[in-house]
Amino acid sequence: MRRYPTWLKKEFSPDGTARVVRGLLDELGLAAVCESALCPNLRECYSQRQLTFMILGERCTRTCRFCAVDHGRPGPVPEDEPRRVAEAVRRLELKHVVITSVARDDLRDEGAGQFVRVIEAVRGGNPGVTVEVLVPDFHGRPELIAQVMAAHPEVFAHNLETVERLTPRVRIQAQYRRSLDVLRLAGSMAGPRTLIKSSVMLGLGETGEEVQQAFRDLLDAGCTHVTLGQYLQPSPAQLPVVDYLSPERFAEYERLAYAAGFRWVMAGPFVRSSYHAIEALSEVSHEA
C-alpha cells in the first residue's frame, strides 16, 4: 500500500452544502472539472460553493498524460449550456465564476464562441459577477484568443502546466512555447484591469532551475498571476508522481516567484489553477 506524506491530508467541515452543489449540477445537466479531473479539493470547494464549470462536454480531443478527464470523440455543442451555467451561478449566488472547457480541436472555432456565449449569459443574468476563463491553447490562433478577450473576462488563464523539458511527455499534443504565445497574445489584447494567469504542476521530475526558468518565461509572456501545486496521479492510467514537495519547498517557490516579479502567487500541495480563484482579484502588495 502506497504511503503519502503526512501533509497530503485534507480536513473540512461538511454542512450539506456540497450535496446542494452536486444536486444543482445534476439538475441542470452541467459538468465541473473538479469532478472530471478528480480534484482532491472537491469536497472542500463544494462545501464553500466554489467550483469550476467545464463547458463543451466532458470528453476531450487531447490525451494529456497528467489529466483524468475522459478523451475521445466529443458530442455536439449544447446550445442551451450558456443559459444553464447562468442559472447555476444565480442559484449558487456566486460572485466570481470560473469557466473552463475540454479541448475541442474538432470544432472550427475550437470552442471559443461557446466561451463568449457563456460569459455573456452569466453576466446577463448575474449583474456584478466577475468572470475567469481557463482556456485551452486554441492552437495559438490569434483570432480565437481575440474572440474570447473581446468578452472582457476579468481573468484570462491558460496553464503552462509543466517545464519546457517535460512538456512533450506530459502534454503530448501541446507545446510549451505555444502556451506562452497564448498568454502573450491575451496580454497584448487585455485592458488594464484584466489579469493574465497561469499554473504549473510540480512533482513530475522538474528541477529548481527549470521552474525558475518557467517563471521567467511566464513573466516575459505577460503573465502576472501564477499558481503552483503538487501533481497527484489521478489514477494508474496517468503519469506517476516523481517527487512530493514539502510545504516548505512550496513556500520557497512562492518566495522565488514573487521575487521574480509576479503580482500574485498561490503555492501549496493542494493548490490548483482555480483554487480560491477569487483571491487573485485582490490587489496584492508583497515584499519579496
Half-sphere exposure of 91 (CA within 13 A, CB side): 15
In angstroms, what CA-CA distances link 88 with 26, 101, 113, 265? 11, 17, 20, 29
Q: Which residue has the higher pLDDT, 9 or 284?
A: 9
Q: Which of 44, 75, 45 has the alpha carbon at shortest distance from 59? A: 75
159 has pLDDT over 90: yes
Q: Write down the pLDDT at residue 11.
A: 56
pLDDT tens profile 13-31: 455 677 888 888 999 999 8
pLDDT tens profile 27-46: 999 988 666 555 565 566 66
189, 146 contact by CB (below 8 A): yes
75 has pLDDT over 80: yes
Cell of 217: 518565461
pLDDT tens profile 94-152: 999 999 999 999 999 999 999 999 999 999 999 999 999 999 999 999 999 999 999 99
As beta bridge partners, residue 228 has 200, 267
Q: Which of 85, 35, 34 has the alpha carbon at shortest distance from 56? A: 85
Q: Write down the pLDDT at residue 284.
A: 42
CA dist., res. 139 & res. 144, Å (int): 9
Q: Tell the burial category of 120 from Cβ atoms under 10 Å away from its Cβ (0-12, 13-18, 19+).
A: middle
- What Rg do the C-alpha atoms of the chain give, in angstroms? 18
Q: Write down the pLDDT at residue 278.
A: 81
CA dist., res. 121 & res. 164, Å (int): 37
288 has pLDDT over 70: no
**Mean pLDDT of all residues belonging to the chain:** 89
* Class of CATH domain 17-281: alpha beta
Choice among 46-55, 154-163, 179-188 with the minimum mean pLDDT: 46-55
228 has pLDDT over 80: yes
